[in-house]
């Protein structure tokens, strides 16, 4: 690169000579300074409200006693299991379904086009109203689910009042809410695959299943992997869905890390416990983030 281009700074992809402004002193023409000036607001924002809180939180969570305390707490151990179930099951079931559904949404039938439009509603609606609707539908006395069950002669089930079904519905709600978003992502990924590949496969007489395994999946593999990591990290920190659907009930058995940390900090006044809860999840989170940062570029 010629020195003039570097001096002008702006012309990232052009070789046209950019005249430096004669009036400005030399250091103000430096591209490093200009780059910093334009990114200053976001650097300030991220340092003050992401890096600083994270480091101060970690610093406050260095007391080994609080780790001893939370690992001795049966609620915490149950919470770790719940979080693992939530992250691993919800994310993977959701993404497999999204990958399959994105294939269905690619068909040019009228019914599919109607579906593709209406399918987005759970994603468009904020989580809270959806959770409230689920919560009332699952009410053991007046909810529609138990009403229908008893109508057809089954026993009614206290869905949100027992650990297994309550956790299951946290997972089900997550899938309901976020399936559309990831389906659209995969749909966009599928549309980026050149059609010639499928045409060539059609000449060889490849069926749908064979096409999927020999063309679609190999080409979407890296996108799929990134989406899995991203969704796992997001879900690991989810607060809203478990908090509003179960609130940890029954008897604090359905907490996930974020809701338990909230309970420790604000309901029990144990700030260090709350911070330590997140610190426990930090190594795996940072590992995932590190992997993502190697693959995704801004």
Residues 6+ apart with CB under 8 A from 97: 175, 179, 183
Rounded-to-integer distance, Cα 256 and Cα 248, Å: 8
- In whole angstroms, the minimum distance from the beta carbon of 4 to other proteins comes to 11
Pick the closer one to other proteins by CB: 8 or 253. Answer: 8
Say if residues 107 and 198 touch (Cβ distance below 8 Å).
no
- In whole angstroms, the minimum distance from the beta carbon of 163 to other proteins comes to 20
Rounded-to-integer distance, Cα 33 and Cα 37, Å: 6
- In whole angstroms, the minimum distance from the beta carbon of 200 to other proteins comes to 13
> First-to-last CA distance in the chain?
23
Pick the closer one to other proteins by CB: 170 or 233. Answer: 233
Following DSSP, what letter does each residue of 243-280 receive, concatenated?
HHHTTTTTTT-S--HHHHHHIIIIIS--HHHHHHHHHH
- In whole angstroms, the minimum distance from the beta carbon of 144 to other proteins comes to 5
Pick the closer one to other proteins by CB: 197 or 289. Answer: 289
Provide the token pair at 188.
Answer: 């966009």
- In whole angstroms, the minimum distance from the beta carbon of 173 to other proteins comes to 9
Pick the closer one to other proteins by CB: 134 or 253. Answer: 134
- In whole angstroms, the minimum distance from the beta carbon of 131 to other proteins comes to 9
Asked if the bond preceding 67 is cis, omega within 30° of 0, the reply is: no
Helix (H) or strand (E) holding 39: helix 31-46
Pick the closer one to other proteins by CB: 24 or 200. Answer: 24
Label residues 94-112 b or e (16+ Cβ within 10 Å = b): bbeebbebbbebeeeeeee
- In whole angstroms, the minimum distance from the beta carbon of 167 to other proteins comes to 18
Pick the closer one to other proteins by CB: 164 or 202. Answer: 202
Rounded-to-integer distance, Cα 175 and Cα 177, Å: 6
Residues 6+ apart with CB under 8 A from 208: none
Q: How many CA atoms lie within 13 A of 146 on its CB side?
A: 16
């Amino acid at each position: 690169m010629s020195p003039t281009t570097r001096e002008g700074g702006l012309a990232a992809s052009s070789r046209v000579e950019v005249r430096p402004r004669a009036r400005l002193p030399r250091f103000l023409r430096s591209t490093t300074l200009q780059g910093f000036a334009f990114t200053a607001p976001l650097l300030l924002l991220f340092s003050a409200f992401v890096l600083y809180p994270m480091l101060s939180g970690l610093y406050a969570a260095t007391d080994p006693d609080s780790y001893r305390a939370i690992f001795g707490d049966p609620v915490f151990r149950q919470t770790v299991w719940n979080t693992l179930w939530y992250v691993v099951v919800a994310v993977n079931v959701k993404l497999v379904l999204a990958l399959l559904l994105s294939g269905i949404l690619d068909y040019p039938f009228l019914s599919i086009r109607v579906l593709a439009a209406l399918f987005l509603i759970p994603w468009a609606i904020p989580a809270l109203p959806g959770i409230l609707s689920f919560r009332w539908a699952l009410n053991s006395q007046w909810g529609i689910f138990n009403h229908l069950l008893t109508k057809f002669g089954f026993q009614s089930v206290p869905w949100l009042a027992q650990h297994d079904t309550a956790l299951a519905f946290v997972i089900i709600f997550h899938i309901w809410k976020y399936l559309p978003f990831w389906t659209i992502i995969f749909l966009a990924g599928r549309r980026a695959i050149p059609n010639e590949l499928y045409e060539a496969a059609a000449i060889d007489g490849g069926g749908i299943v064979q096409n999927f395994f020999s063309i679609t999946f190999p080409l979407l593999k890296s996108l799929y992997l990134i989406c899995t990591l991203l969704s796992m990290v997001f879900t690991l920190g989810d607060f809203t869905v478990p908090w509003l659907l179960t609130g940890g009930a029954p008897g604090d058995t359905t907490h996930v890390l974020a809701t338990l940390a909230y309970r420790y900090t604000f309901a029990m006044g144990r700030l260090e416990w709350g911070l330590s809860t997140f610190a426990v999840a930090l190594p795996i989170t940072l590992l995932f983030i590190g992997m993502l940062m190697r693959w995704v570029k801004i």
